[in-house]
Protein backbone atom coordinates (compact mmCIF):
# COMPACT_ATOMS: atom_id res chain seq x y z
CA UNK A 1 0.00 0.00 0.00
CA UNK A 2 1.23 3.49 -0.73
CA UNK A 3 2.21 5.40 2.38
CA UNK A 4 4.88 8.06 2.97
CA UNK A 5 7.54 5.41 3.72
CA UNK A 6 6.91 3.34 0.60
CA UNK A 7 6.63 6.45 -1.59
CA UNK A 8 10.05 7.63 -0.39
CA UNK A 9 11.55 4.18 -0.93
CA UNK A 10 10.22 3.91 -4.50
CA UNK A 11 10.77 7.53 -5.50
CA UNK A 12 12.53 7.81 -8.88
CA UNK A 13 13.50 11.49 -8.46
CA UNK A 14 17.21 12.05 -8.93
CA UNK A 15 17.65 9.24 -11.44
CA UNK A 16 18.49 10.06 -15.03
CA UNK A 17 15.58 8.00 -16.38
CA UNK A 18 12.66 6.49 -14.46
CA UNK A 19 13.82 3.05 -15.62
CA UNK A 20 17.32 3.45 -14.08
CA UNK A 21 18.28 1.31 -11.10
CA UNK A 22 18.56 2.96 -7.70
CA UNK A 23 21.54 2.16 -5.48
CA UNK A 24 19.43 -0.20 -3.36
CA UNK A 25 18.14 -2.05 -6.44
CA UNK A 26 21.65 -2.36 -7.86
CA UNK A 27 22.90 -3.75 -4.52
CA UNK A 28 20.39 -6.61 -4.86
CA UNK A 29 21.14 -7.38 -8.52
CA UNK A 30 24.94 -6.89 -8.64
CA UNK A 31 25.85 -10.14 -6.78
CA UNK A 32 23.83 -12.15 -9.33
CA UNK A 33 25.97 -10.97 -12.26
CA UNK A 34 28.99 -13.22 -12.88
CA UNK A 35 32.47 -11.68 -12.79
CA UNK A 36 34.44 -11.13 -15.99
CA UNK A 37 36.28 -14.06 -17.48
CA UNK A 38 39.82 -14.75 -16.37
CA UNK A 39 42.51 -13.89 -18.85
CA UNK A 40 42.16 -11.41 -21.65
CA UNK A 41 41.21 -7.79 -21.26
CA UNK A 42 39.42 -6.46 -18.24
CA UNK A 43 35.79 -5.53 -18.60
CA UNK A 44 35.66 -1.87 -19.65
CA UNK A 45 31.91 -1.37 -19.55
CA UNK A 46 29.85 -0.38 -16.52
CA UNK A 47 27.38 -3.24 -16.04
CA UNK A 48 24.96 -1.04 -14.13
CA UNK A 49 24.78 1.27 -17.17
CA UNK A 50 24.29 -1.77 -19.44
CA UNK A 51 21.41 -2.97 -17.28
CA UNK A 52 19.97 0.56 -17.25
CA UNK A 53 20.08 0.46 -21.07
CA UNK A 54 18.21 -2.85 -21.13
CA UNK A 55 15.61 -1.56 -18.70
CA UNK A 56 15.19 1.63 -20.75
CA UNK A 57 14.32 -0.40 -23.85
CA UNK A 58 11.95 -2.64 -21.86
CA UNK A 59 10.26 0.28 -20.09
CA UNK A 60 9.81 2.57 -23.08
CA UNK A 61 9.30 -0.08 -25.74
CA UNK A 62 11.68 1.74 -28.07
CA UNK A 63 13.90 0.01 -30.58
CA UNK A 64 17.52 -0.67 -29.73
CA UNK A 65 18.72 1.90 -32.25
CA UNK A 66 16.87 4.65 -30.33
CA UNK A 67 18.78 4.02 -27.10
CA UNK A 68 19.93 7.43 -25.77
CA UNK A 69 23.55 8.38 -26.30
CA UNK A 70 24.35 8.67 -22.59
CA UNK A 71 23.77 4.92 -22.15
CA UNK A 72 26.21 2.28 -23.47
CA UNK A 73 26.03 1.44 -27.19
CA UNK A 74 23.05 -0.62 -28.28
CA UNK A 75 25.30 -3.45 -29.47
CA UNK A 76 26.86 -3.72 -26.00
CA UNK A 77 23.50 -3.72 -24.19
CA UNK A 78 21.99 -6.23 -26.62
CA UNK A 79 25.05 -8.51 -26.50
CA UNK A 80 24.94 -8.62 -22.70
CA UNK A 81 21.19 -9.31 -22.83
CA UNK A 82 21.79 -12.30 -25.11
CA UNK A 83 24.73 -13.53 -23.03
CA UNK A 84 22.82 -13.26 -19.75
CA UNK A 85 19.79 -15.01 -21.24
CA UNK A 86 22.07 -17.83 -22.47
CA UNK A 87 24.14 -18.31 -19.30
CA UNK A 88 21.20 -18.07 -16.86
CA UNK A 89 22.06 -14.70 -15.31
CA UNK A 90 18.62 -13.26 -16.06
CA UNK A 91 17.02 -16.32 -14.49
CA UNK A 92 19.16 -15.93 -11.35
CA UNK A 93 18.23 -12.24 -11.08
CA UNK A 94 14.55 -13.10 -11.51
CA UNK A 95 14.75 -15.86 -8.88
CA UNK A 96 16.46 -13.57 -6.35
CA UNK A 97 13.87 -10.81 -6.86
CA UNK A 98 11.04 -13.36 -6.65
CA UNK A 99 12.46 -14.79 -3.42
CA UNK A 100 12.82 -11.34 -1.85
CA UNK A 101 9.27 -10.31 -2.75
CA UNK A 102 7.85 -13.48 -1.20
CA UNK A 103 9.86 -12.94 1.98
CA UNK A 104 8.75 -9.29 2.14
CA UNK A 105 5.16 -10.47 2.05
CA UNK A 106 5.83 -12.87 4.94
CA UNK A 107 5.65 -16.00 2.79
CA UNK A 108 8.14 -18.80 2.32
CA UNK A 109 10.83 -18.17 -0.29
CA UNK A 110 9.62 -21.04 -2.46
CA UNK A 111 5.96 -21.88 -2.98
CA UNK A 112 4.71 -25.03 -1.28
CA UNK A 113 1.61 -25.56 -3.41
CA UNK A 114 0.53 -25.08 -6.99
CA UNK A 115 -2.84 -25.09 -8.70
CA UNK A 116 -3.18 -26.69 -12.10
CA UNK A 117 -6.54 -26.81 -13.80
CA UNK A 118 -7.64 -29.73 -15.94
CA UNK A 119 -7.56 -27.64 -19.14
CA UNK A 120 -3.82 -27.03 -18.69
CA UNK A 121 -3.17 -30.70 -18.08
CA UNK A 122 -5.11 -31.74 -21.18
CA UNK A 123 -3.29 -29.15 -23.29
CA UNK A 124 0.07 -30.44 -22.12
CA UNK A 125 -0.87 -34.03 -22.89
CA UNK A 126 -2.06 -33.20 -26.39
CA UNK A 127 0.95 -31.16 -27.36
CA UNK A 128 0.51 -27.58 -26.24
CA UNK A 129 -1.27 -24.41 -27.27
CA UNK A 130 -1.68 -25.24 -30.97
CA UNK A 131 -3.52 -28.45 -30.20
CA UNK A 132 -5.71 -26.75 -27.58
CA UNK A 133 -6.88 -24.10 -30.02
CA UNK A 134 -7.62 -26.59 -32.76
CA UNK A 135 -9.48 -28.86 -30.35
CA UNK A 136 -11.72 -26.07 -29.08
CA UNK A 137 -12.50 -24.39 -32.41
CA UNK A 138 -14.64 -25.83 -35.16
CA UNK A 139 -12.96 -26.21 -38.49
CA UNK A 140 -13.98 -23.75 -41.19
CA UNK A 141 -14.13 -25.25 -44.62
CA UNK A 142 -15.24 -23.76 -47.84
CA UNK A 143 -17.96 -25.61 -49.72
CA UNK A 144 -15.83 -25.29 -52.86
CA UNK A 145 -12.73 -26.85 -51.32
CA UNK A 146 -11.44 -30.02 -52.85
CA UNK A 147 -9.04 -32.67 -51.67
CA UNK A 148 -7.22 -32.63 -55.00
CA UNK A 149 -5.03 -29.63 -55.67
CA UNK A 150 -5.09 -28.13 -59.15
CA UNK A 151 -1.32 -28.50 -59.42
CA UNK A 152 -1.52 -32.27 -58.93
CA UNK A 153 -4.23 -33.03 -61.47
CA UNK A 154 -3.03 -34.99 -64.43
CA UNK A 155 -3.94 -33.94 -67.89
CA UNK A 156 -2.85 -31.86 -70.78
CA UNK A 157 -1.19 -28.46 -70.17
CA–CA dist 65, 75 (Å, integer): 9
pLDDT of residue 37: 84
Residue 2 phi/psi, 5-degree rounding, is: -80, 120
Residue 35 phi/psi, 5-degree rounding, is: -70, 165
Contact 21, 29 (CB under 8 A): yes
Asked whether residue 139 carries a pLDDT value surpassing 60, the answer given is no
For the chain, what is the total number of helices (H) and then of strands (E)? 7, 0
DSSP codes of every residue in 25-41: HHHHHGGGSPPPPSSSS
Is the pTM value of this prediction over 0.85? no
Asked whether residue 93 carries a pLDDT value surpassing 70, the answer given is yes
Amino acid sequence: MWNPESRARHCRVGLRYPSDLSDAEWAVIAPQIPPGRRGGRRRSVDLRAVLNGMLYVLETGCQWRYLPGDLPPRSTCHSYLQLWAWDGTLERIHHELYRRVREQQGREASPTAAVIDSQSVRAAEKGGLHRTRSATMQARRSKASSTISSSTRSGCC
